[in-house]
Amino acid sequence: MHVQQADSMPPGGRERGQRARYLQLAAELRADIAEGRLNTGDLVPTESQLTARFGVSRFTVREALRQLSTDGLIRRKRGSGTIVTANSPVLEQSFSDTRSILQYAASSTFLIEPAVLLHLSPAMARLLKRPEGEPWFHIRGLRIMDGAPEPIAVTDAFIHPRFAPHVPALQSGEEALFSQLHRLAGLAVGKVAQEIQAVAATTAEALALHVPVRAPCLRILRHYFDESGALAEMSCSVHPGERFSYTMAIEG
């Protein structure tokens, strides 16, 4: 039945349907883990079992399991199958280029507040390495993962005033702000400068992230430059240490 429905879809419809179905399946499996039907250390049902249980293709099952692996909920153990490794998502990401950042954005939802035009305070100017009093559109938001009971990051984003006509159109969702600016204003990112610091949560950050004040966190600062080298966007994201993992491969 499922195959016949997919074959009857218009061009492009089958791919969209598969994407939607694997996300739905991933959400159902997350719920099994979060609600204790699958506990840490348990074996995840096999691809064949999941295919039969949910009436979906192996492709859909594999994509759903890949999503759970990205969330840090499961991992494949040689000789044993796939096991549950956590009962809530831990975002593990490797940022090697803008595509990696887009994948990070697509794996979660960014809920933003309305933009406000401000002038950088002395403290914020020092943090962002910009002149004090410089004008920027400020957007604060929380990043949420499906199935996670708490936010994985609080982010302060800063958009250059030259994008003022497009700032009101920036929306919450899975699309990164710089990607939205590319779509709305033709921004082509040429370089991203990134700095990672170990910090203690401030009172405001602790309140937003539901962690104790001074809890260990990772702070990621990014400066996005267009192809001409002009600064277009800045962001400061604070992640609770137990909810985020940064990975990097170094080739010798």
Lowest average pLDDT, out of 159-173, 211-225, 238-252, goes to 238-252
CATH node for 2-84: 1.10.10.10
Asked if the model's pLDDT at residue 187 lies above 60, the reply is: yes
What is the pLDDT averaged over residues 4-29? Answer: 57
pLDDT, tens digit, for every residue of 189-205?
998 998 989 999 999 99
Residue 233: the pLDDT is 97
> Higher pLDDT residue, 131 or 40?
131
Asked if 217 and 241 count as a contact pair (C-beta separation under 8 A), the reply is yes
Residue 224: the pLDDT is 94
Average pLDDT for the chain:
82
In the chain, CATH 1.10.10.10 covers: 2-84
Query: What letter represents residue 230's amino acid?
Result: A
User: Which helix H or strand E contains 82, and what residues bound it?
Assistant: strand 81-84
Q: For the stretch 182-203, what's the b/e string if a residue is b when 16 or more beta carbons lie within 10 angstroms of its beta carbon?
A: beeeebebeebeeeeeebebee
Asked if the model's pLDDT at residue 95 lies above 80, the reply is: no
Question: Hunting for tokens 């956590």 — which residue is that?
Answer: 86
Rounded-to-integer distance, Cα 190 and Cα 233, Å: 12
Lowest average pLDDT, out of 66-70, 94-98, 205-209, 219-223, goes to 94-98
Asked if the model's pLDDT at residue 244 lies above 80, the reply is: no
Structural fold of domain 91-246 = Chorismate lyase (3.40.1410)
Residue 73: the pLDDT is 79
3-state class (DSSP) for residue 167 = helix
What is the pLDDT averaged over residues 25-40? Answer: 83
Contacts of 27 (CB under 8 A, 6+ apart): 146, 147
What is the pLDDT averaged over residues 6-24? Answer: 52
Rounded-to-integer distance, Cα 43 and Cα 22, Å: 20
Asked if 156 and 123 count as a contact pair (C-beta separation under 8 A), the reply is no
Contacts of 141 (CB under 8 A, 6+ apart): 110, 111, 112, 113, 154, 155, 157, 172
In the chain, CATH 3.40.1410.10 covers: 91-246
> Higher pLDDT residue, 176 or 9?
176
Asked if the model's pLDDT at residue 8 lies above 80, the reply is: no
